[in-house]
Amino acid sequence: MMITKDMTRELIGQQAIDSHGEKVGKIGQVYLDERSGDPTWATVNTGLFGTKESFVPLQGADADNSGVALAVDKQQVKDCPHVGRSDERLSGSDEEELHRHYGTAAGAAGNGHATGTEGRHATAERTGDTTDTDRDRIAGVSGDDAMVRHEERLRVGTESEETGRVALRKYVVTEDQTVTVPVSHEEVRLEREPITDGDTVRSGAMGDDSYEVTLHAERPVVDKTTEAVEKVRLGTRTVTEDEQISDTVRKEQIDVDDPSHALRDDRDRS
């Protein structure tokens, strides 16, 4: 469904989808053409936790129950130049820079001056009508005639990502091993013992005779067995270290325009 001026409030808080069907972020503000009142630009909350606002063109965009289908892709939105401020009107030069980035063209009536409508990010998910208090907050003025100053705050979180893989691999290597084993063997020793008168030895006939002794020796015998010696597994541990994150944040400054010096400091009255 083509976006019309009557749909402006309904766009706030809707999911923006790029030309490839990928989610880009939620719409925070809608900017209207000052001449025709038609929605021309919107801000989309992107980045970590939706802390970054990028301008997207509503030219050629459609809206339905699933969200707002943009005519640009997600990478173009991420690379969008930082122009203007989300709570002020877009200048002609800001809009020209956005047109150059997205390759779009201004309408015949001239869309050079767009202005923000109801729907700050803080009220983007409201479903009711915008109240006077909401409008005061959008304009930067509270209900008690005090000007409200805003500052951006960094919100930093963490996400887990894969940094590498470690695997166990088992293979066989061959190495030489030397073991000392004691072995024994028998040797023949000739022993002579004279016969005395007290020995009872029967004399035999004289002649040839022989006597044989069997010798024994030990030899090493090698056998191999396979035994389990240890278990090896991979474990992980979490190491926490500090990492500094730097980014640019904006804050509002309030100056006093008092050419007649009508403002008096309370300290001057003491």
- pLDDT digits 0-9 by tens, 3-22: 888 888 888 888 999 999 99
pLDDT at 112 over 80: no
CA 235 to CA 122: how far, in whole Å? 45
pTM confidence score: 0.41
Is the Cβ–Cβ distance between 184 and 219 less than 8 Å? no
CA 199 to CA 49: how far, in whole Å? 116
More confident residue, 89 or 13: 13
Token digits of residue 157 = 């979180």
pLDDT of residue 208: 87
Give residue 136's identity as a one-letter amino acid code.
D
Q: Comparing 41-45, 84-88, 122-126, 175-179, which segment has the lowest mean pLDDT?
A: 122-126
Q: Decide: residue 33, CB within 10 A, 0-12 exposed, 13-18 middle, 19+ buried.
A: buried
pLDDT of residue 213: 92
Other Cβ atoms closer than 10 A to 60:
13
- pLDDT digits 0-9 by tens, 231-252: 999 999 989 998 888 888 888 8
Q: Which domains does the chain have, with CATH numbers?
A: 5-126 (2.30.30.240)
